[in-house]
Amino acid sequence: MKTEKIFILANAASRTLNRTELAAAADHINRFLPCETIFTTSIENACETAQRLSADPACLVAACGGDGTIHTVINSVVPEAITGIIPAGTANVIARELGIPVQMREARKLLLTGAAQKCDLGSCNGRKFIFVAGIGFDAVVAGAVSPTLKKLFGRYAYHIAGLQQFCFYRPPILKIRVDGGSEEFTGHFAIFANMRRYGGDLFFAPDARYDDGILNMVLVEDFSMRTMLQLLNFARRNGQKPQHGVRTLTGRKFHIRTSEPTPYQLDGEVFAAASEFTIGLAEHQARFITS
């Protein structure tokens, strides 16, 4: 069905959103299609609004914000919805991977001229993720990054928080089975990538693709400073992947048990600790407006 109205959903509390630019973007879209900006006041409000509006096939819901905002919207819209993106975050991983310009002036044009692109979605304990799920250390780091740190250092805030947390962190033991196999892999920290980028310009899983029907796992078996620095250097494209202490695998479904309740993150959003995880591909693909 042809789009008759565009609704832009933006987080009212966002510190990275330029409201003047957003207003200009909405005015531009309004010249061609009716457009309304809605500032959501809570996660619950964003979920309810996205679900309600996307149920009308004549409406296009566009998430304006960072990866967390897009994550919230994609977990709320109806499965058959087409979703737009106006990047306004710190790293904008999802937009970059989908080829959406990070400049709001350029991104707004795609809502009028772009085409729908299918994108695999991951699922972790029933919740969808778009580019990555992480169990353990990175969730602790993401939870330690304050809005002030983000504002001061941008995407490098995660590097700073990572160094601070590493000194005191005691990793759990992860036991992982892939695609129902009998072999069990053991490690201390794992990420499951649906896209190449992890955050900013880090590429822990450079072979990951959002349209190949699989997830790429990076399992840290040796949680030492040496291995983590080598892995970080590799992710920054400044060196080779560590020869020892890091395992990479692909699969469609992963079952993970942890030695103790462990926090996890999905697209940078941190969730309460759990001791068991089922990670795989979601039943339905997402459809995003891209170039």
* Segment 84-107 mean pLDDT: 95
Query: Mean pLDDT lowest for which of 65-69, 125-129, 161-165?
Result: 161-165
* Segment 177-200 mean pLDDT: 95
* Segment 243-266 mean pLDDT: 97
Nearest Cα residue to 25 out of 16, 12, 37: 37
Which residues are within 8 A (CB) of 4 and not within 5 positions of it... i.e. 6 or more apart?
33, 34, 58, 59
pLDDT beyond 90 at 270: yes
Cα–Cα distance, 147 to 247 (Å, whole number) = 33
pLDDT beyond 70 at 261: yes
Nearest Cα residue to 71 out of 82, 63, 79: 63
| Percentage of the residues of the chain whose pLDDT score is greater than 90 | 85
Q: What is the pLDDT of residue 2?
A: 86
Model pLDDT for residues 36-85, shown as the tens digit of each residue:
999 999 999 999 999 999 999 999 999 999 999 999 999 999 999 999 99
Secondary-structure breakdown of the chain: helix, strand, coil percentages, each rounded to the nearest 5: 30, 35, 35
* Segment 149-156 mean pLDDT: 66
Instruction: Supply the DSSP string of 163-225, one letter for each residue.
Output: HHHHTT--PPPEEEEETT-S--EEESEEEEESSS-SBTTB-SSTT--TTSS-EEEEEESS--H
Q: Are 61 and 32 in contact (CB under 8 A)?
A: no
* Segment 214-238 mean pLDDT: 95
Which residues are within 8 A (CB) of 93 and not within 5 positions of it... i.e. 6 or more apart?
67, 131, 132, 195, 197, 198, 199, 200, 267, 268
Instruction: Supply the DSSP string of 105-155, one letter for each residue.
Output: HHHHHHHHH-EEEEE--EEETTEEESSEEEESHHHHHHHH--HHHHHHHGG
pLDDT beyond 70 at 174: yes
Query: Mean pLDDT lowest for which of 46-60, 88-102, 115-129, 142-156?
Result: 142-156
Average pLDDT taken over every residue of the chain: 93
Give this prediction's pTM. Answer: 0.93
* Segment 119-140 mean pLDDT: 96
pLDDT beyond 70 at 33: yes
